[in-house]
Amino acid sequence: MTKTNEEAKETWKHRHDNGVHHIGNTKKELLQNLAKEHGTPIFVIDHEKIRQNYKEFKECLPNVQVYFALKANPDPGIVKTLFDMGCSFDVASMPEFMMVYDNIKDMPDSERQDWIWDKIIYANTIKPTETLKALNKCKPLLTFDNIEELRKVKQYAPDAGLVLRLRVPNTGSMVELSSKFGVDPGEAVDLIAEAFTMNLIVEGLSFHVGSQCTNFENYIQALQLSANILKETETRAGQRIKILDIGGGFPVKYNPKVKSFKSLAKKLNTEIKRLFAPDMQILAEPGRFLVANACTLVAKVIGKAVRDGKPCYYIDDGIYHTFSGQIFDHCIYSIKTFKEGEKHISAVFGPTCDAFDTITLSAELPELNINDLVYSENIGAYTHASSTCFNGFPPAKVVHISR
């Protein structure tokens, strides 16, 4: 007997092989039911998995305050779930800021200002003047990494707290960020001193080792650099900085070769204890870690052909939509099916008229028919967030479960 959607949600069991989130038969049944109910493509967000990821992060790094990086997946439902868990937020634009702000807009002004100060960091080092003007009354933490940005802040947001972003090694990370952001460590103390000379308040230091960091030595080097700069700042400028933002990059086990987050957390806890005073406030900006394995895409075969002897399938989601992460995030998502049968090397294309809209040329799939369903797991980070409406095809419909 087929379960109802509600019954399936209640009996949903998560399974992990080597840390990678896979779905069992109950979830497969639920996904098929949801596709029948909502049509395809659908982007299914499992809020219980997000809550589990948040708890795991806090258990592994108990002295680190979590600031969810909205850019990974800015769905308002995800923001609400993490808000209710006590999470803080890393935003990089006014729309992201307002998405968080919507959860606190009913607070009294004094409580709201205190909450923003402690719970939001605007972690884009470059900000339009209009944004700085709007942010000044809210007094959030703002990152910066150059003198021109400092001058803008002085003019348009002098009441904000500042966090200087360092340029640190990104070797071995899936997406490097150091070519675009971060002050050279050799210039950091001078820039901090200049900020204090301008009567601005530098609250903290930050770094980012690159997204999906698989080289844990990046963190060790960045922590040592930060400790040296904080010590020199106190000696030269007479100012003690008490916030350290260790950024994001925390790895998701997309495959068994990726070392576990727990092993990284053990190293981080040891180094933080060794290098910094007990009253140092440590922040982190996980994005991928909280949402990557909490979302599943379900799509439908809308066409099939044989090209150069290879089975080719066309589905109703593609590179310009949820699979955009393959381009922007350098991440490959496996195409899976609900059907059994002998598998063949197959090509899978998205629905648009662009040949660039090629998801894979090497999927191992049984023979599929028009209207058969396929799915991709661990697709929650930097995917739906960068979907477009290219060629008139809208992004996948978002479906929430376990809210």
Instruction: For residue 263, give the H/E element and its range.
Output: helix 261-275
Which backbone phi and psi does 84 adopt, to 5 degrees?
Answer: -65, -25
Tell me the average pLDDT across 129-144: 93
Half-sphere exposure of 75 toward its Cβ, with a 13 Å CA cutoff? Answer: 28
What is the pLDDT at residue 79? 96
Is 60 catalytic? The answer is no
Judge whether 159 and 116 are in contact, CB under 8 Å: no
What is the pLDDT at residue 214? 67
Angle at 97 between CA 111 and CA 133, to 5 degrees: 85
Measured between alpha carbons, how far is 113 from 109 in angstroms, rounded to an integer?
6
Angle at 293 between CA 384 and CA 61, to 5 degrees: 115
Report the percentage of the chain scoring pLDDT > 70. Answer: 91
Burial of 293 per CB tally in 10 Å (0-12, 13-18, 19+) = buried
pTM value is 0.90
Q: How far is CA 66 from CA 61, 63, 205, 231, in A?
A: 9, 10, 16, 25
What is the pLDDT at residue 106? 86
What is the pLDDT at residue 213? 64
Is the confidence at residue 15, as pLDDT, over 90?
no
Candidate from 156-160, 163-167, 233-237, 239-243 with smallest mean pLDDT: 233-237
Q: Which residue has the higher pLDDT, 24 or 112?
A: 112
What is the pLDDT at residue 182? 85
Q: Residue ranges of the alpha helices (H) in 102-157?
A: 109-119, 129-136, 147-156
pLDDT range class, residue 169, cuts 50, 70, 90: low
What is the pLDDT at residue 266? 95
Q: Which of these is catalytic: 60, 138, 213, 353?
A: 353
Judge whether 43 and 322 are in contact, CB under 8 Å: yes
Report the percentage of the chain scoring pLDDT > 90. Answer: 74
Give residue 372's Cα distance to chain centre.
31
Question: What b/e sequence results for 92-107 when a residue is b if at least 16 CB atoms lie within 10 Å of its CB, and e otherwise?
Answer: bbbebbebbbebeeee
Identify the CA nearest to 283 among candidates 120, 56, 112: 120
Structure tokens at 87: 């999470």
Residue position matching structure tokens 């106190």: 234
Superfamily covering domain 5-46+293-401:
Lyase, Ornithine Decarboxylase; Chain A, domain 1 (2.40.37.10)
What is the pLDDT at residue 25? 74
Judge whether 269 and 59 are in contact, CB under 8 Å: no
What is the pLDDT at residue 174? 61
Instruction: For residue 236, give the H/E element and its range.
Output: helix 217-237
What is the pLDDT at residue 16? 41
pLDDT range class, residue 23, cuts 50, 70, 90: low
Per DSSP (E only), the strands in 74-172 are 88-91, 120-122, 141-144, 161-165
Chain segment 261-293, per-residue pLDDT in tens: 899 999 999 999 999 999 999 999 999 999 999
Chain segment 31-72, per-residue pLDDT in tens: 999 999 999 999 999 999 999 999 999 999 999 999 999 999
Is the confidence at residue 255, as pLDDT, over 60?
yes
Name the 3-class secondary structure at 47: helix
Measured between alpha carbons, how far is 18 from 253 in angstroms, rounded to an integer?
8
Domain boundaries, the chain: 5-46+293-401, 48-291
Q: How far is CA 159 from CA 73, 117, 132, 196, 201, in A?
A: 29, 11, 10, 13, 8
Measured between alpha carbons, how far is 223 from 389 in angstroms, rounded to an integer?
41
Instruction: State the distance between the two ends of the chain, measured CA to CA, in whole angstroms.
Output: 26
Pairing of strands 14-17, 20-23: antiparallel
Structure tokens at 254: 């997309």
Chain segment 207-243, per-residue pLDDT in tens: 988 767 667 788 889 999 999 999 999 988 788 999 9
Candidate from 80-94, 95-109, 114-128, 170-184 with smallest mean pLDDT: 170-184
Instruction: For residue 31, give the H/E element and its range.
Output: helix 25-38
User: For residue 248, which amino acid is it?
Assistant: G
Measured between alpha carbons, how far is 89 from 396 in angstroms, rounded to an integer?
25
* Fold of the CATH domain 48-291: TIM Barrel (3.20.20)
